[in-house]
Amino acid sequence: MFTGSYVALITPMNDNGDIDYPALEKLVQFHIEQGTHGIVSVGTTGESATLPFDEHIEVVRQTLAMVDKKIPVIAGSGANSTAEAIFLSEQMAALGVDGFLSVVPYYNKPQQAGMIAHFNAIADATDVPVLLYNVPARTVADMLPETVAALAEHKNIVGLKDATGDIQRLKATQKLVKNDFLLLSGDDASSCEFLCEGGHGVISVTANVVPNAMSNMCDAALAKNFDACRQFNDSVKLLHDALFIEPNPVMPKWALYRMGLTKSAILRLPMVLPELASQKHIEQILQKYELISG
């Protein structure tokens, strides 16, 4: 369940800011063809923070239809309001999603006990498997390994996306949870090391651009071929850095636009297009990897 390379898929938009569903279908088919193991729909990279509920749910609904059960679809369902997170989860459970990705509540700065109550309430409201998502660089609040271990006792909470980039955090969590509790990297730059230390997969921004390399990296690690895992990682590590020189998802949207996979790189305000220097930097790397022409 939920192992390997899961793309944190962008939500493509037209120049007027509307969702570009033909481009979304193109991206979905691209990932199926390139061997991506699964899709995370409307997570952070999918601009969950600025999509209203109706659009959020519709993007997930259409993504499920486009995927047509070929690979799993995990829906972003997090919110800083527990009631809102439960509402989103209930609505999307009815669509038939394979799992939920639920982020630590942002802005509120909940205590560890508050996180436990929040996620248990979400998991109680659905039979769909829930992945916890810890990304303190965005949420400020940091879910500690002991909190993860307490939540892992819930039958519907099946894993963690750890975006701390801290391998010691992975090791601390591994000591506290059962072997079948899924540990997924949410930090592309450290994902190879995370996999080599026993992680089960990655929810990846880089996979938007080079899905085959990321899925091959995960396959190699899960087969315990760690040399091959590192080779695949080395082949794309420039992208790990370049895709984060501006806040995600600014750079992956620009990269996919330049690759011709979308018609626009538009984002929802307050996110805007990348600075000219950033555009040129990512384009040089895309040229180096022969993903665009010079």
pTM here?
Answer: 0.97
> What phi and psi values does residue 240 have, to the nearest 5 degrees?
-55, -40
State residue 1's pLDDT score.
86
State residue 294's pLDDT score.
74
Q: Is the peptide bond before 145 cis (omega within 30 degrees of 0)?
A: no
45 labeled part of a ligand binding site: yes
Dihedral sign computed on CA atoms, order 50, 144, 192, 161: negative
- What whole-number distance in Å separates Cα of residue 114 and Cα of residue 134? 14
- What whole-number distance in Å separates Cα of residue 284 and Cα of residue 78? 35
Structure tokens of 113?
Answer: 């006990």
71 labeled part of a ligand binding site: no
Determine contact, residues 261/30, Cβ cutoff 8 Å: yes
Locus of tokens 């002991």: 146
Distance of CA 188 to the CA centre of its chain: 10
- What whole-number distance in Å separates Cα of residue 18 and Cα of residue 12? 9
Locus of tokens 């990279």: 45
- What whole-number distance in Å separates Cα of residue 68 and Cα of residue 279? 34
What are the residue boundaries of the structural domains of the chain, listed by start? 4-236
Question: Among all residues, which ones are annotated catalytic?
Answer: 133, 161
Read off the pLDDT of residues 238-270 as tens digits, 9 standing for 90 and up.
Answer: 999 999 999 999 999 999 999 999 999 999 999
- What whole-number distance in Å separates Cα of residue 63 and Cα of residue 164? 28
Divide the 294 residues of the chain into consecutive groups of 10 and give the mean pLDDT of each group: 97 97 98 98 97 98 98 97 98 97 97 98 97 97 98 98 98 97 98 98 98 98 98 98 98 98 98 98 97 90
Read off the pLDDT of residues 119-132 as tens digits, 9 standing for 90 and up.
Answer: 999 999 999 999 99
- What whole-number distance in Å separates Cα of residue 61 and Cα of residue 132? 22
State residue 247's pLDDT score.
97
Structure tokens of 150?
Answer: 């307490």
State residue 283's pLDDT score.
98
Which of 200, 278, 261, 237 has its CA nearest to residue 10?
261
Distance of CA 242 to the CA centre of its chain: 17
Adjacent-strand bridge partners of 267: none
Q: Is 220 helix (H, G, I), strand (E, B) or coil?
A: helix
End-to-end CA distance of the chain: 41
Of the options 1.20.810.10, 3.40.190.10, 3.20.20.70, 3.10.180.10, the CATH number for the domain spanning 4-236: 3.20.20.70
Locus of tokens 């975006």: 163
- What whole-number distance in Å separates Cα of residue 294 and Cα of residue 291? 10
